[in-house]
Structure 1
Amino acid sequence: MKKLLLPFFILSLTFNLSIGQEELSTAVKPTYQKEIDKLVKNKRIQQAFAIIDELEPLTYKNLVELTEIPAPPFMEQNRAERYSDMLKEAGADNVWIDEVGNVLALRKGKDSSKTIALDAHLDTVFPERTDVRVRMVGDTLYAPGVGDDTRGLVMVLTVLKAMNMADIKTTYDVLLVGTVGEEGLGDLRGVKHLFKKNDPKIDSWIAIDGGELGRINNQALGSYRYKITFKGPGGHSWGAFGLANPHHAAGKAVAYFDEAARSYTANGPKTSYNIGRIGGGTSINSIPFESWMEVDMRSVSPERLIEIEEILIAQTNRALEDYNALVVKGPKLTVDIEKIGDRPSGELSPDLPLIQRSMAATKAFKTEPFLTRGSTDSNIPISIGIPAVTLGRGGKAGGAHSLGEWWLNDETGPESIKLALLILVAEAGLE
């Protein structure tokens, strides 16, 4: 069996894994509620809120424009360039695109010793040549990616515009971010790069992604992803009959893994597994030379994620061995087991200032906050103990990751932008 090493970020975590199975408290300490309530009454904050309302037609227009710029996995460049121009037009002090394609816009504070980031991701799940033109049916916008996460991008943009137009100055630097690679096999490559490079150093991270007003994601759902490929000589289905067939071995591996993983996930902290794609072969009358499958495994527990990973590897090797024992003609099969995704688990205490401020700000909008667990850009900072939350993008939405995706603006649409601004300014400090 392949030997697995426990990553440093898991060893460094001190949180109690059992907490992940409990409902975390959303109680707000009075000091934070007073801080937020005072901030809400500030004239410049109120002015920014009014500007957000006035900017609604432009925010809407920007949403349509960005949605119609395709941003397939690993091909976000065109959208990144336009988004970079939008941030420059909105008045950021400095805007650049980094080595992996992230768009970064710095808004300087009085003190550059800390940086507070506000993020949304540039990429969508849809491949090249997907029709991403926006259709309006009544008040509803229909288009692949219109909600996830193009809406988040325009929220970040409108927050910047409102802060500049209301002349809001912050104590610490603010970094507006459009990340690449949040979806699928992108494997959080944009945010991983930011925290690995550590330039600029980010002290607090606020992401905007799916969900309604009131959602505060402070718990990271970890996942491992694998591509498993059985390989053989291939041949004609009649003339070469008897040669090893990779599809047959892969089928055995699926059956073995499903049986073992189903038993393992029946108890303990929630853990899931899914074989999402299978492929290989050239024609119906050809023995395939390879058979591949992509496997997704998730868990609230880093330890259990490693354990189900071990189950996958063990059952795959068992299937290979058992199948090869039956091969009597030609060469045996081989298997490649490739890890193609690694999203760490983790969670942050609701007592952290950023989470307290996020909950207090939500209550200031007469909405009850609720803490969630998800797989977002925040996984990376959460896993290394940096204060981070992911906020909902407001409005009503459905059909995410489908061609029928839709987003409908309602009263929570502009409120979600105001909430993001309020949390950002509270964390960065109003100068």
Structure 2
Amino acid sequence: MKTMKFKPTLIAAACIAITACGGGSSNGTVSGAAADDTKTALAVIGGGTSTVLADGREVTLKMVSETRVNRNVYDYVYNIVLKNNATALTNGVATLTGAGNGTTVLKGTVPLGEVEASGTVSPYGTITLRHDRAVAFNAGALVWSVTNSTAPVNRLSIPTDVASAASKIANDPQVRALLDEQSTPAMTKYRWNTFLELVRVPSPSREEYRSAAEIHSRMVNEWGFSPSEVMTRNDGFLAGSDVNIVDGLPVYNACVQIKGSYSSRPDAQSYKGQFPKVVLEGHIDVVNPETQPPASDPWNHIKLQPYAQAVVETPAQLAAIPAELAFNTAGRIVEDANYNVASQWFANSTAAQNGGGVRIYVPGYIDMMSSTVNGFLLASAMKRHGIKPVYDIWVCGSAGEEGKGNLAGMKQLYGFEQDLGTGSNPLNVVANFGLEGGGILNFLGSYRYEMKFSAPTNPGPNQPSAVEAMAATIARIADVKTPDELRPGAPRTTYTVGRASCEPVPAGSTVVPSCSLEVDMRSPKVETLNEIRDVIVPLFQAGVTAENARVGVANGTPQGIGLQQMWYGLRPAYVATSYDSPATYAGLQSAIATGQSTSTTVSTGSSSINDNVPANTGIPTYQFSLNSTAAGAGTHAFWEWATRGNPATEVSKMHRVLTGILTVAGFHAADGTIVQPATGPIGRRTREAAR
């Protein structure tokens, strides 16, 4: 057994008897008569207990919840905080192996993942103690072990309570009834028609107001929600968020709430009045068109092309395709001959080619309106079938994922202030599930700058050139070495000098008025991302200074080149130190419980998607998908196309998504029992909400 000592300022004995504790309280504070000795008056059981191991590591308990089992016996759930010693952990595990008289360890293992030497980590995992409060709690009897696991870091051991919860949810009669309904021909057609009607609405990034308004209307008039359950507004305002403007623009999210039971509990906890939420989201914006089309031609044209013909190469070729889907004046699909052709589904591209399938050209088919629309229709089905979670569930269509959208929708949802680089999580989200697919848990961060080089306002002979200033900047950036080039073993960091363009020379002049340059920097870690930014950003001004000096003019004068930052984009980076989280467990186990996978291994790769924001803020994330395509290509291009896949695949994916989100949020089962949430009621954040 390891020798332990306890910090006297942090340790206190629990109340000896129920009469001294006043029956306990949900936040771990003592009520009722207290003993004179402060060491017995404070309730260690409420958290704050720190145990220092013989090797110097320190484990601190933070209570998540308490549940009464009988008159004297309570179950206590804790998060832990580990302060490491001088030895780094590559795949650490903390295990509570023993406790004193009256205390039983029901669940004592918490994966830690990678922990640097002398670092501190707050893992998502919890321990559960059952304690008889007729017996004094003995903090000195807690026995901890911190070791390195030999298992691969990305192969997870799913907790038994998560596995049991997912199995119960997946097989619940209410869930089965929902899936049976979604499998009917009527609902299959309804999902398809709704997708076609919504993907037809142009939704350029940061101009999603038409799509959001149509979704809001359908939430109330068609999908069974009351106005009070629609959490977003057509003007882009989200009550409760402390970030409602991003890059000077409104944020056109579309979110609906499925109310849980938790807020009505007498022991319910909230963050500044916000009760816990689980978010399921997919984005509603697209790359093309870049702006809303003119009123004379306000809709996307959904074109149909036989496989025998070559994929289009120009917008003119796309526009010239004669076959397209028709809609009536109310925006509803016309079920004509073209509709019948487009509605055929196929198992794969070969079957589509041989079976008369067509390419369906429309922006956002693959990325990602098909998944997002099915997310809303799943929410509608949950409402219709009385699916009752414990925590609230929000289903959202988020704005600003594509192009220069700057992840605006997620920054609003998570109160992410890009000038500070922190998220307040003002809505108290405890888990985020995206619908972009992939199960990615590491997120590539990026900084994007658009800089404008302006010619002198008072042109004259021997004046500096905006073109030359931009060229001088590009030349300097090209010489920059990245952190991984300078230091072997540093995270891979890249940069790209992107679009460089100049205004045309006005008639009667020989001067280029201005030039613009876009530069992207990418890295999986905030530290290396900041490092490359600190090298590159000063080079914008250095190029201007060099060009002004070439002709002997000073910076900041009317005779010199001017420099202006036109746009700044931030996708925050995140590298998981541990893959163990409630969202990951639910994501993996939902596939196992629904018979879609047996794997407990997660990807160690990285991507840049909506989840960057919640992950960086501290919220556990996972991604599902709800689409079904036989084939497709051209994501982000004007010629994006796909062919319809098996509708049964959508229902199967709905089964997994529903199982996953309810495993985390908790669920009122058909047999009257309650599947408790897989995580605590207070979400994480990197700064406090401004309210």
TM-score normalised according to structure 1 size: 0.85
Q: Which residue of 2 aligns with 1:203?
A: 430
Q: Which residue of 1 aligns with 2:496?
A: 274
> Structure 1 residues 108 and 52 mapped into 2: Cα distance closer, same or farther (>3 Å)?
same
**Which amino acid letter does the alignment assign opposite residue 405 of structure 1?**
E
* Contact 1:228 1:292 (C-alpha < 8 Å) held by counterparts: yes
> Structure 1 residues 425 and 257 mapped into 2: Cα distance closer, same or farther (>3 Å)?
same
Residue 295 of structure 1: how far off its partner (Å)? 1.5
> Structure 1 residues 65 and 370 mapped into 2: Cα distance closer, same or farther (>3 Å)?
farther
Aligned length: 407
Measured on the aligned residues, the alpha-carbon RMSD in Å equals 2.8
* Contact 2:255 2:395 (C-alpha < 8 Å) held by counterparts: yes
2:224 corresponds to which of 91, 99, 105: 91
Q: Secondary structure at the match of 1:286?
A: coil
2:661 corresponds to which of 402, 424, 428: 424
Q: How does 1:25-424 map to 2 (within 5 A)?
A: 25-31=154-160, 32-54=162-184, 55-88=187-220, 89-93=222-226, 94-95=229-230, 96-97=232-233, 98-99=236-237, 100-112=251-263, 113-126=275-288, 127-128=290-291, 129=293, 132-137=300-305, 138=357, 140-196=359-415, 198=425, 200-209=427-436, 211=437, 215-233=438-456, 242-261=462-481, 268-283=490-505, 286-328=510-552, 331-337=559-565, 340-348=568-576, 349-363=578-592, 364-367=594-597, 368=599, 370-371=602-603, 372-396=605-629, 397-411=632-646, 412-424=649-661
Q: In 1, distance between residues paired with 2:637 and 2:457? A: 35
Deviates most, 245-254 or 41-50: 41-50
* Contact 2:587 2:623 (C-alpha < 8 Å) held by counterparts: no
* Contact 1:159 1:420 (C-alpha < 8 Å) held by counterparts: no
* Contact 2:505 2:513 (C-alpha < 8 Å) held by counterparts: no
**Which amino acid letter does the alignment assign opposite residue 217 of structure 2?**
D
Residue 175 of structure 1: how far off its partner (Å)? 1.1
Q: Secondary structure at the match of 1:295?
A: strand
Residue 245 of structure 1: how far off its partner (Å)? 0.7
Residue 247 of structure 1: how far off its partner (Å)? 0.9
Q: In 2, distance between residues paired with 1:261 and 1:131? A: 46
**Which amino acid letter does the alignment assign opposite residue 67 of structure 1?**
V
Determine which structure has more spread, i.e. the larger CA radius of gyration: 2
Q: Over residues 123-162 of structure 1, what are the superposed CA-to-partner deviations in whole Å (9 max), with x where a residue is unaligned?
A: 1122133972222442543211122121232121121122
Greater RCO (Cα-Cα under 8 Å, separation 6 or more):
1
Deviates most, 317-326 or 420-429: 317-326
* Contact 1:86 1:157 (C-alpha < 8 Å) held by counterparts: no
* Contact 1:395 1:407 (C-alpha < 8 Å) held by counterparts: no
Residue 380 of structure 1: how far off its partner (Å)? 1.4
* Contact 1:67 1:146 (C-alpha < 8 Å) held by counterparts: yes
**Which amino acid letter does the alignment assign opposite residue 416 of structure 1?**
K
**Which amino acid letter does the alignment assign opposite residue 182 of structure 1?**
E
**Which amino acid letter does the alignment assign opposite residue 472 of structure 2?**
K
Residue 304 of structure 1: how far off its partner (Å)? 1.0
Q: In 1, distance between residues paired with 2:447 and 2:284? A: 22
Q: In 1, distance between residues paired with 2:650 and 2:636? A: 20
Q: Which residue of 2 aligns with 1:10?
A: none
Q: In 2, distance between residues paired with 1:222 and 1:387? A: 17
> Structure 1 residues 427 and 108 mapped into 2: Cα distance closer, same or farther (>3 Å)?
same
Sequence identity, in percent?
Answer: 23
Residue 234 of structure 1: how far off its partner (Å)? 6.7
Q: In 2, distance between residues paired with 1:394 and 1:180? A: 19
> Structure 1 residues 136 and 16 mapped into 2: Cα distance closer, same or farther (>3 Å)?
farther
> Structure 1 residues 51 and 275 mapped into 2: Cα distance closer, same or farther (>3 Å)?
farther
**Which amino acid letter does the alignment assign opposite residue 108 of structure 1?**
K
Q: Over residues 171-197 of structure 1, what are the superposed CA-to-partner deviations in whole Å (9 max), with x where a residue is unaligned?
A: 121111122222222211222122227
Q: In 2, distance between residues paired with 1:242 and 1:131? A: 50
Q: In 2, distance between residues paired with 1:339 and 1:312? A: 16
* Contact 2:370 2:627 (C-alpha < 8 Å) held by counterparts: no
Q: In 2, distance between residues paired with 1:83 and 1:233? A: 48
Q: Secondary structure at the match of 2:623?
A: strand
* Contact 2:458 2:559 (C-alpha < 8 Å) held by counterparts: no
Q: Secondary structure at the match of 1:216?
A: coil
Residue 345 of structure 1: how far off its partner (Å)? 0.9
**Which amino acid letter does the alignment assign opposite residue 293 of structure 1?**
L
* Contact 2:277 2:431 (C-alpha < 8 Å) held by counterparts: yes
* Contact 2:432 2:622 (C-alpha < 8 Å) held by counterparts: yes
**Which amino acid letter does the alignment assign opposite residue 582 of structure 2?**
P
Q: Secondary structure at the match of 2:256?
A: strand
Residue 264 of structure 1: how far off its partner (Å)? 5.7
Q: Over residues 15-50 of structure 1, what are the superposed CA-to-partner deviations in whole Å (9 max), with x where a residue is unaligned?
A: 8599xxxx9514342513333233222222222222
Determine which structure has the larger helix proportion and give its number. 1
Residue 339 of structure 1: how far off its partner (Å)? 5.4
Residue 336 of structure 1: how far off its partner (Å)? 2.6
Residue 425 of structure 1: how far off its partner (Å)? 1.6
> Structure 1 residues 430 and 408 mapped into 2: Cα distance closer, same or farther (>3 Å)?
farther
Q: Secondary structure at the match of 2:378?
A: helix
Residue 102 of structure 1: how far off its partner (Å)? 1.7
Residue 359 of structure 1: how far off its partner (Å)? 1.0
> Structure 1 residues 263 and 161 mapped into 2: Cα distance closer, same or farther (>3 Å)?
closer
Q: In 2, distance between residues paired with 1:408 and 1:39? A: 32
> Structure 1 residues 304 and 39 mapped into 2: Cα distance closer, same or farther (>3 Å)?
same
Can you give the 5+ residue segments of structure 1 that lack an aligned partner in the other structure?
A: 1-13
Residue 352 of structure 1: how far off its partner (Å)? 0.7
Can you give the 5+ residue segments of structure 2 that lack an aligned partner in the other structure?
A: 1-111, 117-151, 238-250, 264-274, 306-356, 416-423, 669-691
Residue 227 of structure 1: how far off its partner (Å)? 1.4
> Structure 1 residues 366 and 390 mapped into 2: Cα distance closer, same or farther (>3 Å)?
closer
TM-score normalised according to structure 2 size: 0.55
> Structure 1 residues 82 and 24 mapped into 2: Cα distance closer, same or farther (>3 Å)?
farther
Q: Which residue of 2 aligns with 1:9?
A: none
Q: In 1, distance between residues paired with 2:113 and 2:156? A: 19
Q: Secondary structure at the match of 1:346?
A: coil
